[in-house]
Amino acid sequence: MLQFAQFGAGRIGAIHAANLAASGQAALRHVVDVNAAAAAGLAARHGARVSTTEEALTDPEVGAVIIASSTDTHAALVIAAAEAGKAIFCEKPIDLSLARVDAAIAAVEAAGVPMLVGFNRRFDPDFAALRRRIAEGAIGTVEQVVVTSRDPGLPPIDYLKVSGGQFRDMTIHDFDMARWLLDEEPVEVFAYGAALVDPAVAAVGDIDSCMVLLRTASGRMAHINNSRRAAYGYDQRIEVHGSLGRLMAGNRTPTTVELANTAAVSTDTPLHFFLERYAEAYRIELAAFVAAVAAGVPMPVGAADGRQALVLADAALLSLRERRPVRVGEIA
Amino acid sequence: MLQFAQFGAGRIGAIHAANLAASGQAALRHVVDVNAAAAAGLAARHGARVSTTEEALTDPEVGAVIIASSTDTHAALVIAAAEAGKAIFCEKPIDLSLARVDAAIAAVEAAGVPMLVGFNRRFDPDFAALRRRIAEGAIGTVEQVVVTSRDPGLPPIDYLKVSGGQFRDMTIHDFDMARWLLDEEPVEVFAYGAALVDPAVAAVGDIDSCMVLLRTASGRMAHINNSRRAAYGYDQRIEVHGSLGRLMAGNRTPTTVELANTAAVSTDTPLHFFLERYAEAYRIELAAFVAAVAAGVPMPVGAADGRQALVLADAALLSLRERRPVRVGEIA
Amino acid sequence: MLQFAQFGAGRIGAIHAANLAASGQAALRHVVDVNAAAAAGLAARHGARVSTTEEALTDPEVGAVIIASSTDTHAALVIAAAEAGKAIFCEKPIDLSLARVDAAIAAVEAAGVPMLVGFNRRFDPDFAALRRRIAEGAIGTVEQVVVTSRDPGLPPIDYLKVSGGQFRDMTIHDFDMARWLLDEEPVEVFAYGAALVDPAVAAVGDIDSCMVLLRTASGRMAHINNSRRAAYGYDQRIEVHGSLGRLMAGNRTPTTVELANTAAVSTDTPLHFFLERYAEAYRIELAAFVAAVAAGVPMPVGAADGRQALVLADAALLSLRERRPVRVGEIA
Amino acid sequence: MLQFAQFGAGRIGAIHAANLAASGQAALRHVVDVNAAAAAGLAARHGARVSTTEEALTDPEVGAVIIASSTDTHAALVIAAAEAGKAIFCEKPIDLSLARVDAAIAAVEAAGVPMLVGFNRRFDPDFAALRRRIAEGAIGTVEQVVVTSRDPGLPPIDYLKVSGGQFRDMTIHDFDMARWLLDEEPVEVFAYGAALVDPAVAAVGDIDSCMVLLRTASGRMAHINNSRRAAYGYDQRIEVHGSLGRLMAGNRTPTTVELANTAAVSTDTPLHFFLERYAEAYRIELAAFVAAVAAGVPMPVGAADGRQALVLADAALLSLRERRPVRVGEIA
């Protein structure tokens, strides 16, 4: 049974630890977190010990690590874990700086350890079905992808200050979806963005609403729209138009209940946020990691995917700043 | 161009007259109504004259009649029109009494004139598609039919007094749908009914809510539920379950607009009532009548259908009164 | 932590044991099954021991039992567990004979132990939301309930022989839903039934398709339709019509993916069968049992509910045989 | 009753003539078409005469004209009709050249005659409901608009040669929708386009697929996606996201019928093309024109709207050619 050390005992860390416990295929051995109380709580809940990074990485029983700590610690932990020969499950993004991402990837490659980058949406049953049916030929050649992705509400401004900005923090998931479903690498990005939700966002140099276009060499196109605030909750939809038809995946709701009264016929708003919407995706993602480690096969989403989504985010940011389309080659 | 005399210048009469005018295949020549003002208004609108029954039926230019007057006048008008050799479009029911229905049908058969009974729902594009797809084998052998039919609001109590009761006035349409879609004649009926909407309905000896079961000789089953009042509007849905699948036809709405906000995701309530919901059905129904007269082919829904739906209604009423299943043969 | 003995290591037993393990609030201590291999497998999976009924019930550490063995063993196990002072989670039905049900209930009451009867659908998030919203007044006074419940395919004929028949084996869940949502006790039942799916069903004296009506004292009505075979999968829908509106709960699907092509716009068929459709309901059901035992509060669905659903099933069977509506008082 | 002269007896001309006849508020007096047979057929159908342009425009009984001839004749006819003092209903676009559009508008203004430009989608009940509900405040401040607009199939290449290109011929409707629903004038346009459907389209210098972004001064954004070919039919959807919620309007289908079988749950593809999808919109549009002429009030969609949509189309074309965002002021 694969033994894990986990870095980060916060919200997403708790999800991964619970999924580990329920999988029956792996066990949590070390929890590392600067917040001692959080580490202790999570360790106690799953029969693990609270450790330092060094203790965790030098334990020969540990075969894999989960990196779910704050973004600025990811790259150094990836490098240390790679050097220690551990399989790596790293939450996105690897880093906000491409240079540090490249350093981390170099260490992973040098060590020859497997690494999965946490693009959880690839494991969402709905989006995975889109990809599978495209691969099966259900809609012929892909021509257009439309990704709608809106959060239920603005995060704290203090979070935004260290988030890397909307493109790197939020849209990065959508860039990954667009790449994955276009079935051909985007070569150019154009972006509009604004702080429409709250002027405080503009005050810290960020945006909260954006619309992006991507283009591939053969002319395929993708559109992404984002908002940091949707009154009706977490809006996660993807549409793919191809030569033989159209695929769409929509929101999930708490119940299927429909009420009809004098005013309207009404149904539930979508599942609240990513923890609810992607609960199943997180479970499948971790299981896929454990299975790939066990089988010694390539990771379903790897370091190069993590890097390329960041490149697209950086290209979008440059496009917004310079008010022009940016070729991916300018960034990478 | 087929020339019509129309009896009845009320709400449904106005619909038929307008459809006649728009069809381009027929013309309205006489309007007959005890309400002189209504007759004059409708006649003026469509370039027809106000006439007596005798004038209308003795006019050799008249090839067909529309009987859309009050129910108690239908049977006599059918007989008179048949004796005058006119093709007959008669609103349902032919009469509330089976004996008078039989007399009317005898006159029609003796005269050899064609007669269509106004079961407009057979011409509704949704329900007609159910029937067509059953005939095409889309769901194999029909096993169960569920008809949901609720009105938006209670009619005036004075109307209920002369309506013949819920089964003959309202459920009669659903009996026709059930017969048509079961694809086999019902042989037995069981009914529950109550005045749940308004005790004034019970006070005039009627019900406003009912649930009915029908059974065919081979064991196929149908369920009908009715209410005289649905807060959300006119609810007209049919489901057919067969050996290879299920067909459902649902409500139509004024728009496809969906609003998502903090409270819910909401859409329009159904089209208000039969004039809106079945506007297209009335148009197609009249066109089918005109076409069948022109082609000299049998009517798509005839006198026997009108009679049989009334037989089922009478069986339901007997079932409710005697608290037992009633075989159709007890009535017919 | 509540310690359990579980009787029955089959399909539904495995579900309950897994839910116990994942709950973190309870532990499985004994597994009892006539199939030694099944017992050993389940016990091994959850760190429990294989025991005899006597060993399990005399263990003072055991606070509760799960009875998920074959139906004919339920009543005796309920009585033995009650006498041993254990809290009881009993799969439906308690027994196929009302007399034995009454004996079991008498033992439970004499012992003063809590008992939950496994009507899992009450814990389904969709149906539970129907009930909650009715209680909140969303649709005013309930007038009509329509329960649609179709299985994906016919079980083996050998199973049908010992099942107690469609009403007691399958419709019993729907009788419970109808009672629960009508918000008033049914006083009369009328049923049609036939073997439309397979004549082999008739050959063993059973039916595979039925339509049932229920009536309460104040005139509320419910309709249930069942089929043992739906080509499109497990069809579980409920509609409740009230004075202020209508509530509906529909099927759940594996994904939200919609494909539009030349032929149609198409979506997934429903989740395959009860293990998939009610996975969440089973989890919530067991948690509710554990919580009620811990808090010493009444069970959310008790022995009387188990009995009353069986009474309605028996009334339906009598109605089918005698071709007449049957008053509940004739059975109870 | 308003008397009309109509220029153009083709497909869209036949729609307008039929709507005129059915309106009861107007009459067709002259039909003008270079295709003598088409003119004669349409004139005969509606009791009008075949005339020359001069005969039609000098007839003092004529109060209004419908210009539904080929695009290259629109501007000259608008000028002639304006000089003749007739109210003008002109199909979009007024012209493919902004200079000629301006000349036509100048003539209309000089003559002081009313002119409606045929942006039929403003009269579609679904899209009109979006606009009305935005105006009512249902979603607060508009932030993002997404317009999806795909045709069922590629028109003949010969048509494309004279169409003015996808932006001016097809996207122009979507530019109008975006302007109308953004509730603030776009100031910048960026476009991607390609011939993904058929290389023959590229061979004539056109595109068949595009994605466009629009931006307003305050930062609101709109996205338009177009394809000349959707396997599943005519796809016309609009989504508007605002500070308080989201509005969406979807496709209309021939029936509401849903089929569930072993393979899928499937419904109809959308209504085939614009004649079917916008039949009601065309009817309402013409009635709005007649009503505005009768009341002497401003047209609901006027010459300036026609011009501005063309400006956006020209900006998109320049953006595509020069691979940069284009400010509207560069064009206008």
The answer to whether residue C291 sits within a structural domain is no
Mutual angle of helices B98-111 and B71-83, in 10-degree steps:
20
- Which of D246, D252, D257 lies at the smallest CB-CB distance from B247? D257
* D236 in contact with A, Cβ within 8 Å: no
Do C137 and C271 reside in the same domain of the chain?
Answer: yes
Strands C209-216 and A221-227: unpaired
* D231 in contact with C, Cβ within 8 Å: yes
* D139 in contact with B, Cβ within 8 Å: yes
Cis peptide before C93 (omega within 30 of 0): yes
Do A176 and A251 reside in the same domain of the chain?
Answer: yes
The answer to whether residue B291 sits within a structural domain is no
Give per-residue pLDDT as tens, B51-63: 999 999 999 999 9
Do A219 and A100 reside in the same domain of the chain?
Answer: no
The interface pTM score, or ipTM, of the predicted complex is: 0.96
Residue of B nearest to A233 (CA): B262
The answer to whether C127 touches C249, Cβ cutoff 8 Å, is yes
Do C91 and C135 reside in the same domain of the chain?
Answer: no
Final residue before a domain boundary, out of A54, A88, A113: A113
Per CB-CB distance under 8 Å, the chain A contacts of D248 are none
Do D196 and D50 reside in the same domain of the chain?
Answer: no
The answer to whether D182 touches D142, Cβ cutoff 8 Å, is yes
The amino acid present at A69, given as its one-letter code, is: S
> Which contacts (CB < 8 Å, 24+ apart) does range C197-202 have?
C197/B143, C197/B243, C197/C154, C197/C227, C197/C228, C197/C229, C198/C154, C198/C229, C200/C157, C201/C154, C201/C157, C201/C160, C201/C228
Do A79 and A134 reside in the same domain of the chain?
Answer: no
For residues B244-249, give the mean pLDDT.
98
CB contacts < 8 Å between A and B, how many? Answer: 48
Do A171 and A29 reside in the same domain of the chain?
Answer: no
Cis peptide before A300 (omega within 30 of 0): no
Question: Considering chain B, what is the average pLDDT of its residues?
Answer: 97
Q: From the CB of residue B98, how many other CB atoms can be counted at a distance below 10 Å?
A: 16
Integer angstrom CA distances of residue A270 from A151, A235, A237, C188: 11, 7, 11, 41
| Distant-in-sequence, close-in-space partners of D128: CB < 8 Å, separation ≥ 6 | D122
Task: Please state the three-class secondary structure of A309-332 as a single string.
Answer: HHHHHHHHHHHHHHCCCEEHHHHC
Shortest Cα distance, chain C CAs vs residue A44, angstroms? 13
pLDDT of residue C332: 77
Tell me, what CATH number does D313's domain have? Answer: 3.30.360.10
Exposed/middle/buried for residue D125 (C-beta within 10 Å: 0-12, 13-18, 19+) = middle
The answer to whether D90 touches D118, Cβ cutoff 8 Å, is yes
Do C177 and C326 reside in the same domain of the chain?
Answer: yes
Look at C232 and D267 and tell me if their CB atoms are within 8 Å: no
| Distant-in-sequence, close-in-space partners of B282: CB < 8 Å, separation ≥ 6 | B15, B16, B19, B120, B123
The tokens of B285 are what?
Answer: 């129904």
CA C292 to chain centre: 19
- Which pTM does this prediction carry? 0.96
Residue of A nearest to C245 (CA): A261
- Which of D231, D263, D268 lies at the smallest CB-CB distance from C262? D231
| Distant-in-sequence, close-in-space partners of C205: CB < 8 Å, separation ≥ 6 | C165
Q: Indicate if the alpha-carbon torsion angle C99, C102, C104, C107 is positive or negative.
A: negative
The answer to whether residue D237 sits within a structural domain is yes
Residue of C nearest to A259 (CA): C247
Give me the tens of pLDDT residue by residue for chain A, a chain 332 residues long. 899 999 999 999 999 999 998 888 899 999 999 999 999 999 999 999 999 999 999 999 999 999 999 999 999 999 999 999 999 999 999 999 999 999 999 999 999 999 999 999 999 999 999 999 999 999 999 999 999 999 999 999 999 999 999 999 999 999 999 999 999 999 999 999 999 999 999 999 999 999 999 999 999 999 999 999 999 999 999 999 999 999 999 999 999 999 999 999 999 999 999 999 999 999 999 999 999 999 999 999 999 999 999 999 999 999 999 999 999 999 97
The answer to whether residue B268 sits within a structural domain is yes
Per CB-CB distance under 8 Å, the chain D contacts of A325 are 190, 323-324
pLDDT of residue B332: 77
Cβ under 8 Å to D: B residues 8-37: 22
CA B157 to chain centre: 21
Do B103 and B126 reside in the same domain of the chain?
Answer: no
- Which of A248, A257, A261 lies at the smallest CB-CB distance from C130? A257
Query: How many Å apart are CA B83 and CA B219, to the nearest integer?
Result: 42
Do D315 and D168 reside in the same domain of the chain?
Answer: yes
The tokens of D159 are what?
Answer: 């048509």
Shortest Cα distance, chain B CAs vs residue C195, angstroms? 8
Strand partners, A28: A4
Q: Indicate if the alpha-carbon torsion angle C196, C200, C204, C208 is positive or negative.
A: negative
CB contacts < 8 Å between A and C, how many? Answer: 79
| Percent of chain C surpassing pLDDT 70 | 100
The answer to whether residue B13 sits within a structural domain is yes
CA D231 to chain centre: 23
The answer to whether residue B283 sits within a structural domain is no
The amino acid present at B87, given as its one-letter code, is: A
Residue spans of chain C under pLDDT 50: none
Final residue before a domain boundary, out of D113, D136, D157: D113
The answer to whether residue A296 sits within a structural domain is no
How many residues are present in chain D?
332
For residues B184-192, give the mean pLDDT.
98
Query: How many Å apart are CA D108 and CA D78, to the nearest integer?
Result: 7
Residue of B nearest to A272 (CA): B262
| Distant-in-sequence, close-in-space partners of B224: CB < 8 Å, separation ≥ 6 | B146, B147, B149, B171, B174, B175, B178, B210, B211, B212, B214
Do B174 and B245 reside in the same domain of the chain?
Answer: yes
- Which of B230, B235, B261 lies at the smallest CB-CB distance from A232? B261
pLDDT of residue B20: 93
pLDDT of residue D80: 98
The answer to whether residue B295 sits within a structural domain is no
| Distant-in-sequence, close-in-space partners of A332: CB < 8 Å, separation ≥ 6 | A98, A308, A311
Q: How many domains does chain D have?
A: 2
Query: How many Å apart are CA C7 and CA B67, to the nearest integer?
Result: 71
pLDDT of residue B22: 84
Domain extent at residue C84: 2-113
Final residue before a domain boundary, out of B65, B87, B113: B113
Q: Indicate if the alpha-carbon torsion angle B250, B253, B255, B257 is positive or negative.
A: negative
Give me the tens of pLDDT residue by residue for chain D, a chain 332 residues long. 899 999 999 999 999 999 998 888 899 999 999 999 999 999 999 999 999 999 999 999 999 999 999 999 999 999 999 999 999 999 999 999 999 999 999 999 999 999 999 999 999 999 999 999 999 999 999 999 999 999 999 999 999 999 999 999 999 999 999 999 999 999 999 999 999 999 999 999 999 999 999 999 999 999 999 999 999 999 999 999 999 999 999 999 999 999 999 999 999 999 999 999 999 999 999 999 999 999 999 999 999 999 999 999 999 999 999 999 999 999 97
Query: How many Å apart are CA C119 and CA A144, to the nearest integer?
Result: 47
Do C144 and C262 reside in the same domain of the chain?
Answer: yes
Query: How many Å apart are CA A201 and CA C40, to the nearest integer?
Result: 60
| Percent of chain B surpassing pLDDT 90 | 98
Query: How many Å apart are CA C237 and CA D265, to the nearest integer?
Result: 15
Tell me, what CATH number does D60's domain have? Answer: 3.40.50.720
Query: What does the DSSP 8-state code read for residue D21?
Result: H
Strand C2-7's sheet: what is its strand order? C49-50, C26-32, C2-7, C62-67, C87-91, C115-118
The answer to whether D231 touches D272, Cβ cutoff 8 Å, is no
pLDDT of residue C211: 98
Strand partners, A30: A5, A49
The tokens of D21 are what?
Answer: 């006849």
- Which of C249, C258, C259 lies at the smallest CB-CB distance from A255? C249
Per CB-CB distance under 8 Å, the chain B contacts of A261 are 231-232
pLDDT of residue B309: 97
DSSP string, C120-173: GGGGSHHHHHHHHHHHTTTTSSEEEEEEEEE-SSPPPHHHHHTTT-HIIIIIHH
3-state secondary structure of C214: strand
pLDDT bin (cut points 50, 70, 90) of residue B1 is confident
Query: How many Å apart are CA B135 and CA B130, to the nearest integer?
Result: 9
